[in-house]
């Protein structure tokens, strides 16, 4: 018979807890020091004026107040980011889906083709950003030269505020390799017999896609949707390099690439306003949480999990 200890834990249970904690000690310590404490600290900073040099000075809701009522650049950052989410996320999902379909075709040499489609996703952001700038140079870039050769209009791309974000969306569509992989795995999981049954019912290719493929891969769609959306809200690296092209400020041209994190970074590290930037970080956190929850909640309508009753 095992002796019951005061805490309601047997000796072996206590031993196991210690072992468990010991093994994940690195994570727990890291969580306390690099996650929990910083979260509390940044929440505190958001109510202060803090430049990293002098101690933080409490100013109450001033940062938030300024953000919501006075800061034009904040509004610009929000709207730019919203554009990328609304336009960029569906575009990327679609591109990933189409490329996954293409990669699912049964032909020889697929390994080679696969590397073409997937490689861009793993390339470092700095060369990729420079390459894109180079190719989309409004005067001499290969893209505009090719467009001109076939008589199509040649947008200014990264010097034209109306075309800079579309140019960026194209870049992100080019680097959706990881999303494609997830879709590809999901596609390959769709049971054969469903397609056969649909064909028996007289469904053509497109209807089979809509009624079999899309629902069956909807969990992957949900996963991809959330991941890409979160990543888009936190867009920084590529935009930083692309928009900092020798002109004075990041976020050029004319602030069209001034995304949320770019503005946050500028506030923190160019203007040394850590309190203000912390407030922005928390607002972003809430925005992301909000949309993720909405997506998750709404997903019950359209996500189909194998094994659930319809």
Q: What are phi and psi of 276, to 5 degrees?
A: -60, -45
Q: Which two tokens stand for residue 143?
A: 């893209």
Q: How many residues bind other proteins (CB under 8 A)?
A: 132
∠298-300-305 over CA atoms, to 5°? Answer: 145
Residues 249-268 that bind other proteins (CB under 8 A): 249, 253-255, 261, 264, 268
> With CB under 8 A as the contact rule, which of the stretches 68-76, 80-88, 300-308 interacts with other proteins?
68-76
Select 67 or 118, whichever has its Cβ closest to other proteins: 118
Residues 110-129 that bind other proteins (CB under 8 A): 110-111, 113-120, 122-127
Select 168 or 264, whichever has its Cβ closest to other proteins: 264
Q: Does 72 bind other proteins (CB under 8 A)?
A: yes
Find the binder of other proteins among 78, 84, 85, 281 (CB under 8 A).
281
- Site track for other proteins across 42-61, x = CB under 8 A: x--x---x-xxxx--x-x--
Residues 211-250 that bind other proteins (CB under 8 A): 220, 223, 230, 233-234, 236-237, 240-241, 245-249
Q: Which of 217, 246, 227, 232 is nearest to 159 (CA)?
A: 246
Find the binder of other proteins among 1, 149, 150, 309 (CB under 8 A).
149
Select 220 or 303, whichever has its Cβ closest to other proteins: 220
């Amino acid at each position: 018979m095992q002796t019951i200890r005061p805490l309601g834990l047997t000796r072996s249970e206590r031993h196991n807890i210690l072992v468990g904690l010991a093994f994940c000690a690195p994570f727990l310590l890291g969580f306390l020091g690099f996650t929990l404490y910083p979260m509390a600290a940044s929440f505190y900073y958001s109510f202060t004026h803090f430049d990293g040099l002098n101690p933080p000075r409490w100013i109450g809701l001033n940062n938030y107040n300024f953000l919501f009522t006075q800061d034009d650049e904040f509004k610009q950052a929000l709207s730019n980011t919203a554009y990328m989410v609304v336009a960029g996320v569906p575009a990327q999902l679609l591109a990933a889906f189409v490329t996954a379909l293409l990669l699912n075709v049964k032909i020889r040499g697929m390994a080679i083709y696969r590397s073409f489609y997937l490689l861009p996703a793993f390339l470092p952001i700095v060369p990729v950003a420079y390459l894109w700038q180079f190719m989309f140079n409004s005067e001499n870039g290969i893209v505009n030269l090719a467009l001109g050769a076939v008589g199509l209009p040649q947008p200014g791309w990264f010097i034209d505020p109306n075309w800079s974000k579309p140019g960026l969306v194209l870049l992100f569509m080019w680097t959706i390799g990881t999303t494609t992989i997830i879709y590809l795995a999901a596609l390959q999981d769709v049971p054969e017999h469903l397609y056969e049954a649909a064909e028996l019912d007289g469904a053509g290719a497109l209807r089979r896609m809509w009624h079999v493929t899309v629902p069956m891969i909807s969990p992957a769609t949900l996963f991809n949707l959330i991941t890409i959306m979160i990543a888009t809200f936190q867009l920084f690296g590529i935009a930083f390099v692309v928009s900092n092209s020798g002109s004075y400020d990041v976020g050029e041209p004319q602030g069209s690439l001034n995304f949320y994190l770019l503005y946050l970074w500028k506030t923190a590290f160019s203007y040394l306003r850590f309190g203000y930037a912390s407030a922005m970080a928390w607002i972003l956190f809430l925005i992301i949480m909000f949309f993720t929850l909405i997506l998750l909640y709404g997903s019950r309508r359209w996500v189909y999990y194998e094994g659930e009753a319809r």
